[in-house]
Structure 1
Amino acid sequence: MADNTTPRAITCKAVVAWKQSEALKVEEVEVDPPNSTQVRIKMLYASICHTDITCWICSTDITRFPLIPGHEGAGVIESVGEEVKDLKVGDTVMILYVGECGECWNCASGKTNLCSRYPLIISDDGTSRIYAKGQRIYRMFSSSTWSEYAVVESNYVVKVDPRMPLSHACLLTCGFTTGYGGVWKELKFEKGSTVAVLGLGVVGLGAVKASQILGASKIFGIEVNDMKRDMARAFGVTDFVNPKHSDKPISQLIKEATGGLGVDYCIECTGVASLLNEAIASTKVGVGETVLLGIPAERKAELSYIPMIQGRILKGSNFGGVKIHSDLPKIVEKCINKEINLGDLITHEVSLADINKGFLEYMKQPDCIKVIIKF
């Protein structure tokens, strides 16, 4: 007699990028059951990140095609592998792209959130369990959330507190958490510090909010889009600076506003290579620190040597240094307590069928902060 409880392949809809920079298509795909350590998730919400665009236009040595994009999302577990212990069918969950085993050298060191047992997978390793038109479709990172069903290694999955709306939870799976953690986890932040945040998208607003909560005395928000001014101030920016309104470099504008000193900390969220040196030069000589959070479309930037030998510190970060099991629940709690209002960041909503409108149209609109996909 057949075992009707054994998970079977599911036919559903997913967004597929067949070639680099080619228009996205909604295709019928087949999603295999999870293996012993994976879970299969029915997606309820996903969101669109600029990193999705970067990977879509990147050369194939970074991204493999055909590809199902998307790395931010939340849903409900439909089936689990036999070795999965802490998750069960019916759990509502967030899908992350970094893991945390708690036991490897990296996790035990307390120095990084990048687990060596469950690493960040930038390019699909060829083990995707999704197929379309007779061929395997590669994943973006370890997830590919722009599909009605996704199969994910269970360690990259975190349960959602039932008090947290899933539409808000998906915003914590990359952008906002990256910015928030870039201040909270990557800096030894002192109350009264001065901060400059370059780029006021979701990542930048996360950095702004963390700076406010940790007691910054001044938060400079650097943004070329004046339509983001009110949102920036609502999240904690004290001084909104649009560098397009001046012929002076950003670093000079910040120094002039800080008595010639510069800020204690600069958080670079744009990924614009030409702004790297401006971010570093915006900080104080001898003690200034800059954290890089933006993902560049350009992979090379010339680093000016002089600002570095003046004692400044430059640090790279992934997911803002946040550990998904140890740290992320603390951010969730602040959202539940209304210290953080993630709902304010959602400016547009689309269905999976309208993905190109969200991806290619809404993301370019000046009033856009975050586009979410409702399944």
Structure 2
Amino acid sequence: MEQDKVSMDKPSKVITCRAAIAWTANAPLSIEEVQVDPPKPGEVRIKIISSGLCGTDKHILEGKNRVPLPAILGHEGAGIVESIGEGVASVKPGDKVLMFPLPECRKCRFCLHSKGNFCLKEKILSPTGLMLDGTSRFTCRGRKIYNLYGTSTFTEYTVVHEIVVGKIDAGAPMDKVCIMSCAVPTGFGAVFNTARVTPGSTCVVFGLGGIGSAVVMGCKASGASRIIGVDINEEKFPGARAFGVTDCLNPRNLKKPVQEVVMEMTGGGVDFAFEAVGLTDTMVAALESCHVSYGVCVIIGVAPSDSQLSFDPVLILPGRTLKGGVIGEYKTRSSIPKLVTEYMQKKFNIDPLITHQLPFEKINKAFELFRNGHCIRCVLLF
């Protein structure tokens, strides 16, 4: 009964606020005044408190990953429910929530499967920039603006479907937990769910950004005896060692391909390899770093649009396994709020992943830090 009262009392007005618009690729974001429509049935309007910058956002701005533009980017968001549409039952105004780039509808065959998490309502592989009804909730300068993956967190207010929203603990630190929407579960899940790293194993992690660093943390927690970190930016090496990396390699300083060096260092290859860069060359290098019989390679990075992965099939024949997964194979709404609670219980610490926090209006400065490799994860505060 109380839920019905909340629904009937929900605000129905358009909200005017600030958002960072990507009008085109290869250009700075433009902070504009936008109009955000009220939520329709099954939708939630959220006041954004913080948002992380992800490598996927950077790749979109660089034109490597194509999505409909102009758009409001961002998919690592923490906020407070401002209003709800008819039929929304899992959250109410005032709730603290995370928004996920991968939904959990709890009705499709993959959501209902015990292992599946790649919901059929996803908008990652074929982004339309529109809500499920084929329309937009954002307007700027009289033009409709696309969303990103059904989320869009580079804005003071956003409208999303209930199936991408997870209620979190009321005491959650909102200036930090936004990275639990993507970076942390993607890295942790690659280790715990996809690869299933074993104690005493050897691992190599290609890419030591936010997601790669979360992978390192997961490998260490799993008891890996050796963790090799690979990155072309040596500024990341001290932090990587603090997370658990035992050996650091810069491919640009090696006299032979990095996978050959890894093979020599480990006496024939690693047990587990992780690619968190998003380039086909590093994906192949990660696979070639695995030993035969039971080496496992997990692809996490999103390659540029229209990329094709090509490698000698003999790499697979002797028992190597190549796997992939999105958001760590976690069922987002069901699992990630539990991770937030565990973080609050100090079962693990994500704070060192956040090296910079900037006010929202400095979003272009944040991307500059990101592009230049000066940060692991930068969080925007609204």
TM (norm. structure 2) is 0.91
Paired letter, 2:220: Q
| Counterpart code for 1:34 | P
Instruction: Give the deviation of 1:118 after TM superposition.
Output: 5.4
Query: For residue 118 of structure 2, what is the amino acid of its counterpart?
Result: L
Q: Show structure 1 runs of 5+ residues with no match.
A: none
- The aligned residue for residue 65 of structure 1 is 69
TM-aligned CA distance change 1:148 to 1:295, over 3 Å? same
Question: Is the contact between residue 176 and residue 379 of structure 2 (CA under 8 Å) also seen in structure 1?
Answer: no
Kindly provide the amino acid, as one letter, of the partner of residue 184 in structure 1: F
Write out aligned runs for 1:111-130 (5 A).
Answer: 111-117=115-121, 120=124, 122-125=127-130, 126-130=134-138
Shift of 1:96: 0.5
- The aligned counterpart of 2:4 is none
1:227 aligns with 2:235: yes
Q: Which AA in structure 1 matches 2:45?
A: R
Counterpart of 2:175 in 1: which secondary structure?
A: helix
Alpha-carbon distance in structure 2 between the residues aligned to 1:137 and 1:103: 29
Counterparts of 1:348-359 in structure 2, within 5 Å, are 348-359=356-367
- The counterpart of 2:26, out of the listed 16, 21, 37, is 21
Q: Is the 8 A contact 1:192 1:215 kept in 2?
A: yes
- Counterpart in the other structure of 2:52: 47
- Aligned residue type for 1:107: C
| Number of residue equivalences | 370
Do the aligned partners of 1:209 and 1:340 also contact (CA within 8 Å) in 2?
Answer: no
- Code of the residue aligned with 1:284 in structure 2: it is H
2:258 counterpart (222, 244, 250): 250
Map of 1:38 onto structure 2: 43
Percent of residue pairs identical: 36
CA distances 1:325-345 after superposition (whole Å, capped 9, x unpaired): 332234324422334322212
Q: Which residue of 2 aligns with 1:336?
A: 344
Q: Amino acid of the residue matched to residue 99 of structure 2?
A: I
Which region of structure 1 is more displaced relative to structure 2, 202-211 or 16-25?
Answer: 16-25
Segment drifting more, 30-39 vs 184-193: 184-193
1:83-102 matches, within 5 Å, as: 83-102=87-106
AA in 1 matched with 2:113:
S
> Compared with structure 1, are the counterparts of its residues 78 and 270 closer, same or farther at alpha carbon in structure 2 (3 Å cutoff)?
same
**Local SS of the residue matching 1:329:** helix
**Secondary structure, counterpart of 1:88 in structure 2:** coil
Structure 2: where are the runs of 5+ without partners? 1-7
Report the alpha carbon displacement of residue 21 of structure 1 after superposing the two structures with TM.
2.1
Q: In 2, distance between residues paired with 1:286 and 1:252? A: 18
Q: Tell me the equivalent position of 1:367.
A: 374
Report whether the alignment pairs 1:285 with 2:292.
yes
SS at match of 1:85: coil
Structure 2 contact 123–149 (Cα < 8 Å) conserved: no
Partner of 2:326: 318
Asked if the contact 1:160–1:169 (Cα under 8 Å) also holds between the matched residues in 2, the reply is no
Q: Note if contact 2:10-2:83 (Cα within 8 Å) is conserved in structure 1.
A: no
Tell me, yes or no, if the aligned pair for 1:271 and 1:295 is still in contact at 8 Å: yes
Deviations 1:179-236 (A, max 9, x none): 1111111123322222111111111011111111122121111122222122112222
Matches of 2:30 and 2:275, distance apart in 1: 33
Contact 2:181 2:336 in 1 (8 A): no
Distance between the aligned counterparts of 2:251 and 2:29, measured in 1?
34
CA distance in 1, matches of 2:42, 2:259: 49
User: Match for 2:381: what amino acid?
Assistant: K
Letter in 2 for 1:9: V
- 2:198 corresponds in structure 1 to 190
